[in-house]
A and B are shown apart, each in its own frame.
Chain A
Amino acid sequence: SQQGEEDPQALSIQEGENATMNCSYKTSINNLQWYRQNSGRGLVHLILIRSNEREKHSGRLRVTLDTSKKSSSLLITASRAADTASYFCATGRSQGNLIFGKGTKLSVKP
């Protein structure tokens, strides 16, 4: 079963714009992670935020976590064509395995 639900399912923006993706989940978590998957390739880890953290930054990425609302958001600033990919949120359980959502397809047009 899938725990996370990403919103929107698809997003199309112009290069240079910001992209925001949201994730909601159902049960308590140990951490929440965001992954990127380019067409036909494996998953690449982007950022991990622990359940006791509220915000985290990594380069052009900003992640927020609201455990009271069971939601997270991923912001990509100044997007590039190379950011075109599917983005998945995954909730981390205590034993380490992940439950993934269905993903958001981001298209960045040059």
Chain B
Amino acid sequence: EAGVAQSPRYKIIEKRQSVAFWCNPISGHATLYWYQQILGQGPKLLIQFQNNGVVDDSQLPKDRFSAERLKGVDSTLKIQPAKLEDSAVYLCASSLDPPDTQYFGPGTRLTVL
């Protein structure tokens, strides 16, 4: 069974530029999560989707971050404009039935200069 796929793996941009990350969850997983992990900390939930609906986006900085999950499968997370403090690893995870085990992708490491 294929795992959660993410791309790109690495991205370097300058502040005020925009960036987008892509995630393909495990086939059949209805729930998809985006987490932000700053160096030295644990992951922090940004947004949770159930199929293509948003369950929780309370910690998503909506003035600059947006996410969508069209057709309830793939998802994209966008940052526009990026700030220095957005430098982090962005992790995508999926699960079959909440609340249960989440399967994480390898992450996208973003560096904002």
Name A's B-contacting residues (CB within 8 A): 2, 4, 30-31, 33, 35, 41-45, 48, 88, 90, 92-103
Closest A-B pairs by Cβ, 3 of them: A96-B98, A100-B42, A96-B99
Residues of B contacting A94 with CB < 8 Å? Answer: 99
Interface size class of B (residues with CB under 8 A): 20 to 34
Tell which of A31, A43, A102 touches B91, judged by Cβ atoms closer than 8 Å. A43
- Is the CB of B40 closer than 8 A to any CB of chain A? yes
**Does B16 lie at the interface of the complex (its beta carbon under 8 Å from any beta carbon of A)?**
no
Inter-subunit contact A41/B106 (CB<8 Å):
yes
Report which B residues bind A (CB closer than 8 A): 4, 31, 33, 35, 40-45, 48, 55-56, 91, 93, 95, 97-107
Shortest Cβ distance from B37 into chain A, in angstroms? 8
B11 CB to nearest A CB, Å: 15
Question: Which of B4, B41, B99 sits near A31, CB closer than 8 Å?
Answer: B99
Closest to B59 in A: A1
A43 to B43, CA, bound (A): 10
Q: Can you spell out 28 A-B residue pairs with CB atoms less than 8 angstroms apart?
A: A2-B41, A2-B44, A33-B101, A33-B102, A42-B105, A42-B106, A42-B107, A43-B91, A43-B104, A44-B104, A45-B104, A48-B101, A88-B42, A92-B99, A93-B99, A95-B98, A96-B95, A96-B98, A96-B100, A97-B33, A97-B48, A98-B43, A99-B45, A100-B42, A101-B42, A102-B41, A103-B41, A103-B42
List of A residues within 8 angstroms of B55 by Cβ: 95-97
